[in-house]
Structure 1
């Protein structure tokens, strides 16, 4: 699985499933190599296990049809059952090596990070991607780190023994995503933002 340029994170209380699926289908006009850089991340922790599994099945079908990827938050069991392409690990999740022991060495693993130091620890642990947040103001998520944190992370990763893809999360939308990519992010992730079927590109200059 390629590092996604854009990850749409599910939160059906704010973005109902039909809206999410419509946003996903809008990427269908992109060439296959660009559709492969789109992912959906199954989150929705408030759903019951059965409802989360059912949603995951529908998203697995939709992403497979598009040529996009499916990533599952934390739940290794669901990732395994759904045949997900990757898993996203939070602070209370298992470690990267434990996730790969369950899901296989080839599974894509991203790790939630809230500081540049945590990005470096994710790289050292063998993660494929570090999701740094919040970059911009997001309700209930603490002070924003700003694009400067992405620049610092990219600079410090250059001297690290092992690199890791850098993903920006938190208040990111179609207008601010290019600034994140210009600051050193390899991709962005969002819950509420609508990207209109276009992959974000770095801002010129």
Structure 2
């Protein structure tokens, strides 16, 4: 799976499903190779299992129609059920190796990281992507790491034996996303931000 340049993370309490789908559809005018760099990450831990599955099925249909990717938080069983393109692992999730053994080599495995050292550990564990957060101020997420953390992570990853994509999360929006990429991130992720289909500007 291609590493997404932009990941839209679901939290329907903040961004209702119709709004998320409208934001996703804004990328429909882009060429297929650009749409393939967009992902939706199914999170919404407050939803019941049935509601999460139903939302996941609708998002699977929407992403497949667009040519985008679907990533599922933590729930490997749900990732299998939905035919997701990837899974995102938190601190209490299974190991990267266990996720890959169950889901197969073609599925992206990303890991939540809150320090540069955790990024390096994710790389050593064989993750495809390390999601470093919070880069900017985010309610309830502690002090922001800032762009220097992205620069440090990129420099230290460059000296390592295995490449891993670096994704910036936390307070990222359309204005700050290019700064994250310039600091060394391979992609950005966001919950609330509306990028307005501006993937070319982000990638540029």
Which range, TM-score by smaller chain? over 0.9
What TM-score results when the alignment is normalised by the length of structure 1? Answer: 0.97
Q: Give yes or no for contact 1:10–1:42 (8 Å, CA) kept in 2.
A: yes
CA RMSD of aligned residues (A): 1.3
Write the mapping of 1:4-19 to structure 2, written as runs, cut at 5 A. 4-19=4-19
1:127-183 Cα shifts (integer Å, max 9, x gaps): 000000000000000000001100000000011111100000000000000000000
Q: Give yes or no for contact 1:89–1:112 (8 Å, CA) kept in 2.
A: yes
Structure-1 separation of matches of 2:165 and 2:199: 17
Which residue in 1 is equivalent to 2:184? 184
Structure-1 separation of matches of 2:4 and 2:24: 13
**Offset, 1:106:** 1.5
**Offset, 1:89:** 0.2
Which residue in 1 is equivalent to 2:39? 39
Residue aligned with 2:196, SS: coil
**Offset, 1:200:** 5.8
Q: Give yes or no for contact 1:7–1:40 (8 Å, CA) kept in 2.
A: yes
Q: Give yes or no for contact 1:166–1:184 (8 Å, CA) kept in 2.
A: yes
Structure-2 separation of matches of 1:162 and 1:57: 34
Which residue in 2 is equivalent to 1:123? 123
Extract unaligned runs of 5+ from structure 1: none
Q: Give yes or no for contact 1:178–1:200 (8 Å, CA) kept in 2.
A: no
1:86-109 Cα shifts (integer Å, max 9, x gaps): 000000000100001111122100
Q: Give yes or no for contact 1:6–1:200 (8 Å, CA) kept in 2.
A: no
1:31-58 Cα shifts (integer Å, max 9, x gaps): 0000000000000000000000000000
